[in-house]
Structure 1
Amino acid sequence: MTMHIQLDRITKRYGRLIANDEVSLVVEAGTVHAIVGENGAGKSTLMNTLYGLVKPDSGTISINDEPVSFHGPRDAIARGIGMVHQHFMLVPSLSVADNVIIGSAPKRRGLIDRRRAREIVARVSEEYGLHIEPDPLVRDLPVGAQQRVEILKALHRGADVLILDEPTAVLTPPEAVELGRVIRQLTSVGKAVLFISHKLKEVMAVSDEITVMRRGRVTGHFAAAETDERELARTMVGRDVLTSVVKDASEPGDVRLDVRDLEAKDDRGQMAVRGVTIELRAGNITGIAGVEGNGQTELIECLAGLRPAESGSIELAQTDITRSTPRRRRDLGIGHIPEDRLKRGLAPNLSIEDNLVSTTYRQKRFTRFGVVRTAAVREEATAMIERFGIAGRPDQAIAALSGGNMQKVVVARELGGDPAVVLIAQPTRGVDVGAIENIHREIVALRDRGSAVLLVSAELDEVMSLSDDLYVMYDGQLVARLDPATADANEVGMHMAGISAVAEPELPAGGGGA
């Protein structure tokens, strides 16, 4: 079925907040239409309206010039609209085939016809080039494959329009490239794709049409072939935005964190960090590139004290902290931005201000005679909210924030206190372009004030542009040390794929410049 969808003057209010303010949009079959904007711009509200999760206060939705009214996702699915959420709606303990047929299982003699279910998965997977086998359990699949299962499920239900909400936020660079291939395959057979993203480079690469939103309103509409990242960023934020990192060459100082022959296991008991030796120096950003799942997560968690070291040593300013608790490491000056902000970084039911001081509330400026000084906490939170551009009030619950603003709270807490060493994992995941500029600027400023920074990022451009020294991690080992000023993405990618010879890199004699 050829689809033509029109959203006309959609408005949605939550109290005094206008999430969507007379938003209009046209989606054509066979095209990729990107929706971009800062956190809280109204993108997800608009897409949730189209998918039946949100009922607009006013405005109309038309499919092929016929007005429709959705009372829930079931109505939207019945009209050919599917949605893949940023956090997947899959059952990890079930197989791919079982997940795909949930709610529409083929039956035989009153029982689920599993042979028919496997045939459905194989047929749809082959038809759209999804490369998904029906039998593996979802929990055993990499994230990119899980996302393709979600897409396959939507296509099986008859989706002619597919909404992808921040689809690359959880993907590695190779998985993002594979998603681009899948999207092109879908549009080549007449499907329409709505692509919600903060990543302007990816938006430019996959989109035909681009709509920009700011503060609930449409501020621009562009043909992808007639615009560029700079114009999109300016339309999103309302000002010129630096899309590249600006920094002077580093001036490395003394070794702050000395890691020798470190080994650590993953949650399955398998060795994930194997013989890692690395030095972090004051005034220097040390980056680690690599496909996720090659030990970066376990390395950061081990250094932060969240995962035990099986062997090797960790010294902070010549003090052995190999067996120290996370609290002890914090007290000694180690900050940590975890890759999973909800699991490791935040208390969602507490307020912004409580989260911002959750690691420092014992300090005298916040606590006196065992009683928290609420005025001092509020003053600190207000300053951090302004400095890091957090869209929220100090007393607002973290759970009410967008994912990007949650990330800003974590970054503000961990960078705001000038730690001696900061361990940073995926600092800009799910964050808009204006906030990315600010976070990058804060990381560089922290380095310039003398902190030692370890940066792990799945964004190759990010880790290459921020780092003064660059390592590549593969299969739990540091397999290469490169100069980010002269290395190119292809060279780094070869090491990330394990194609180059695996050899322990020599320790830097004195850091490196950018």
Structure 2
Amino acid sequence: MEYVIEMLNIRKEFPGIVANDNITLQVKKGEIHALLGENGAGKSTLMNVLFGLYQPEKGEIRARGKKVEISNPNIANDLGIGMVHQHFMLIDTFTVTENIILGKEAVKKGKIDLKKAEKEVREISEKYGLSVDPKAKIADISVGMQQRVEILKTLYRGAEILIFDEPTAVLTPQEITELIAIFRTLIKEGKSIILITHKLKEIMEVCDRVTVIRKGVGIGTYDVSSTNPNELANLMVGREVTFKTDKQPAEPKETVLSIKDLNVKDSRGINVVKSLNLDVKAGEIVGIAGVDGNGQSELIEAITGLIKKDSGSITLNGKEISVLTPRKITESGLGHIPQDRHKHGLVLDFSIGRNIVLQNYYQKPYSNNGILNEKEMDKQAKKIIGEFDVRTPSMHTPARALSGGNQQKAIIGREVDRNPDLLIAAQPTRGLDVGAIEFIHRRLIEQRDNGKAVLLISFELDEILNVSDRIAVIFDGQIIATVNPKETTEQELGLLMAGSNDKKVGVEKNV
């Protein structure tokens, strides 16, 4: 059989680690082929080899049966291979069209022919149902729309084989549905897709075949129609994985976080949190369910002191914290797992060990009269790396060199270890595999069982339903309903998130 792409016995090494150990991947024309594995299993590395960003130590690549050397991404583009990266490669101040044509500019009389490019971008966008405005500025469009720009960028360069690296990690449920429809259109047009993911639901829904990698080694390739999520989870992690979170009923005690009539404006001066009321008690997990862009980010930033409220009050253990600096708020007993680990969770060029002590490096025993104690910092880093299974060649490895999931585990370890009275977990399992998700859910429930308050913000409805003891639904900057997860469904939650105010079982209306 002829494959559009074959990667045969690929080996890729980095200092102290074998990322890909003799892996074979063969993709048929017109199929959606999943590449499944835990965080740090070597999926992105393998695709970076295919895209010419890395050179393998051993093995060969064949495109349509012919052996090829892909020494850089331009050669990959010429072979019809395009890649949509997990972290988008876009310039915020440029328009959609300017980003798409960058490096491939059409020139007329020495000038870039922007009109012609805009027309081409619009045509490709319409052909594949992408609905992107070619004149929009990247800074003004949603994350889901930015991803479509990345897809357009590959199509503009003539890609026939599209690699998607964790494409749904940053999308809302509605955007995921739309992306799946785009995949189907691409396949109908004769394209082939390689989908790097660890979301088993998506594999079962859209993929034809799946290749499983575990700790850098190829486990095998399977027809999706003849397997199931449990079997794939076991192949990926190497053990039984439970999809249901075991927990005792919550025993809420005193109120830890109390938000009254909170109003917050965004950077444009628009009121995005509107007279919001919310309480979180010790010994409970309150989940916030909502479509992205309904005030969740600004709510978290107001609680953590990153932006100032307009009016209202935020109290932690009875003390008003909205007048304090972010550091003072943190010291008052707040832990924060931010929704964007790169922007707000890590200093990517620092070692992973130094990132682990970022919240308390200035306190004893890590610091004495302004002098850092390297030995104590290393001891703490080693402890967190071990306890939270952060897979890294060493504690001195730069944070940016770790996989997204291992970066996330380091942040969660740092915050949980401080034992805060209130733990804000914003998208805590974004980009994580089933094994890591199970581990993190267990840690959040442990915090609750130790009498701490947990505020969970997530776009994953099954996570909200599985982990929360109460669910607060946010719509247009307000908490419009409080729901008992045992007495509701994904469909009912979805309706509430869209602003539906129908009276339902288990729903306590707040408006």
Give me the TM-score of the superposition, normalised by structure 1. 0.94
Contact in 2 for aligned 1:278/1:507 (Cα 8 Å):
no
Measured in 2, the distance between the counterparts of 1:127 and 1:194 equals: 21
Partner residue, 2:38: 38
The 1:397–1:116 alpha-carbon spacing in structure 2 relative to 1, beyond 3 Å, is closer
For residues 266-311 of structure 1, the C-alpha deviation after alignment (integer angstroms, 9 at most, x for no partner) is 1222111111111110000001011111110110111111111110
Partner residue, 2:426: 425
Measured in 2, the distance between the counterparts of 1:105 and 1:366 equals: 52
In the alignment of these two chains, the number of paired residues is: 506
Contact in 2 for aligned 1:3/1:160 (Cα 8 Å):
no
Partner residue, 1:284: 284
Query: Which stretch of structure 1 is more off in the superposition, 356-365 or 313-322?
Result: 356-365
Partner residue, 2:172: 172
Partner residue, 1:304: 304
Matches within 5 A, 1:42-191: 42-191=42-191
Partner residue, 1:512: none
Percent identity (aligned):
44
Measured in 2, the distance between the counterparts of 1:191 and 1:241 equals: 34
The 1:116–1:447 alpha-carbon spacing in structure 2 relative to 1, beyond 3 Å, is same
Measured in 2, the distance between the counterparts of 1:329 and 1:291 equals: 27
Contact in 1 for aligned 2:483/2:508 (Cα 8 Å):
no
Measured in 2, the distance between the counterparts of 1:254 and 1:160 equals: 58
Contact in 1 for aligned 2:41/2:213 (Cα 8 Å):
yes
Partner residue, 1:511: none
Give the match's secondary structure for 1:498.
coil
Measured in 2, the distance between the counterparts of 1:436 and 1:96 equals: 34
The 1:150–1:63 alpha-carbon spacing in structure 2 relative to 1, beyond 3 Å, is same
Letter in 1 for 2:447: L
Contact in 1 for aligned 2:480/2:510 (Cα 8 Å):
no
Structure 2 portions without partners, runs of 5+: none
Letter in 2 for 1:176: I
After TM superposition, give the deviation of residue 501 of structure 1 in Å.
Answer: 6.8
Measured in 2, the distance between the counterparts of 1:102 and 1:418 equals: 47
Letter in 2 for 1:494: L
Query: Which stretch of structure 1 is more off in the superposition, 140-149 or 100-109?
Result: 100-109
Query: Which stretch of structure 1 is more off in the superposition, 460-469 or 12-21?
Result: 12-21
The 1:178–1:115 alpha-carbon spacing in structure 2 relative to 1, beyond 3 Å, is same
After TM superposition, give the deviation of residue 353 of structure 1 in Å.
Answer: 2.6
Partner residue, 2:23: 23
Partner residue, 1:440: 441
Query: Which stretch of structure 1 is more off in the superposition, 99-108 or 61-70?
Result: 99-108
Matches within 5 A, 1:395-474: 395-474=396-475
Partner residue, 1:209: 209
Letter in 2 for 1:427: P
Partner residue, 1:483: 484
Measured in 2, the distance between the counterparts of 1:218 and 1:97 equals: 39
After TM superposition, give the deviation of residue 322 of structure 1 in Å.
Answer: 2.3
After TM superposition, give the deviation of residue 253 of structure 1 in Å.
Answer: 0.5
Measured in 2, the distance between the counterparts of 1:415 and 1:188 equals: 47
Measured in 2, the distance between the counterparts of 1:110 and 1:397 equals: 43
The 1:117–1:465 alpha-carbon spacing in structure 2 relative to 1, beyond 3 Å, is same
Letter in 1 for 2:245: V
The 1:408–1:311 alpha-carbon spacing in structure 2 relative to 1, beyond 3 Å, is same
Letter in 1 for 2:163: I
Give the match's secondary structure for 2:485.
coil
For residues 76-104 of structure 1, the C-alpha deviation after alignment (integer angstroms, 9 at most, x for no partner) is 10111111111112222222223222333
Query: Which stretch of structure 1 is more off in the superposition, 289-298 or 103-112?
Result: 103-112
Partner residue, 1:351: 351
Moved over 6 A (4+): none
Contact in 1 for aligned 2:479/2:510 (Cα 8 Å):
no
Letter in 2 for 1:460: L
